[in-house]
Amino acid sequence: MTLPPRRIGPFTVSAIGLGCMNLSHAYGTKPEPADAEALLNRALDLGVTLLDTAALYGFGENERLVGRAVGHRRSEYTLASKCVLDVIDGKRGLDGSPAAIARTLDAALERLGTDHIDLYYLHRLDARVPIEDSVGALVRAREAGKIGAIGLSEMGAETIRRAQAVHPIAAVQTEYSPIVRNPEIAVLDTCRELGIGFVAFSPVARGLLAGAIASDDYVEGDIRRAMPRFAGEALRHNLKAVAAFDALAAEIGCSSAQLSLAWVLSRGEHVVPIPGTRSGTHLEENLGAIDVAITEEVAARIKAIFGPGAIRGARYAAPMQAQVDTEKFADEELA
């Protein structure tokens, strides 16, 4: 399989990358370590050259996994990780102070078994710390040779511009799919204007657009149990629109995941989706999205399927939503 290249800051990466989070936590039972390691190596074998992890994922275990599984193939991929969201006093915490960023980075380098992370993101905006101070910490890390480029995650256009004034930003990462369109308010255009790559996480809507969710009978530990749009009456309502999307995918001869990924890819040459998976079969299916064409008619039908009122429920529970700086729609449900 040959994946076409796209540019993210100074890096040329495969048009579809790999989000590594669910190899360690988030969506139910995590795979056995050997299976997770095999999946990462299979991704590289298939031409994926962007691997995305974070200090928070698996409370550090995901970075250890990536380092253990593919550290010996370090020259074959662009390595991205994140700070600010981290484990604080044994639980998820937010700290964008320069001192905390430096600590998280040094721990990440040790877990990954490397002395250099190619692309390092501020995972969320810490409103208690000026963005200029947080970016400044990463500028110093870059000058020290510990990172290659700076990224931002779930930040709005104004914050992006403030950060860019301190140092060129290579990438902005935000949730984006046919269901979650918030980047279209301002972030996509801001990235295009400033020459910043856009990395789309959850491009198949946390499995909703990949045939993975039929009910809210999630296993213990699945983060979707606490996400309003993935449970109860909201989910039952949302599955009606998902069924129409699934039917459209079948009509044009691809899977729902491929249609969703192809749609994300069609949003601009500066856009790179990073779907996650624990299955080698699904990995290959996802990469096949590069062969799916999104015509104007198909794009219009997708827009109609997910028109006003089609999706109910907030993206996150209130505590997590409070950490999101990306612009919100006026009628968006936030709790």
- 242: alpha, beta or left, given left = phi > 0 and alpha = psi -120 to 50? alpha
SS3 155: coil
- Cβ burial 285-303 (10 Å sphere, 16+ → b, else e): bbbbbbebebeeebeeebe
Which amino acid does the sequence have at 56?
L
CA–CA separation, 33 and 37 (whole Å):
6
* Helix or strand run (H / E) with residue 68: helix 61-70
Residue 265 tokens read as 């890819």
CA–CA separation, 205 and 316 (whole Å):
12
- Kindly report the CA angle at 212 between 211 and 214, in degrees rounded to 5? 90
CA–CA separation, 300 and 87 (whole Å):
43
Q: What is the residue-wise DSSP string for 86-130?
A: EEETTEEEE--SHHHHHHHHHHHHHHHT-S-EEEEEE-S--TTS-
Which amino acid does the sequence have at 80?
A
CA–centroid distance for 238 within its chain: 22
**Which residues form the catalytic set?**
57
Largest Cα–Cα separation, the chain: 53
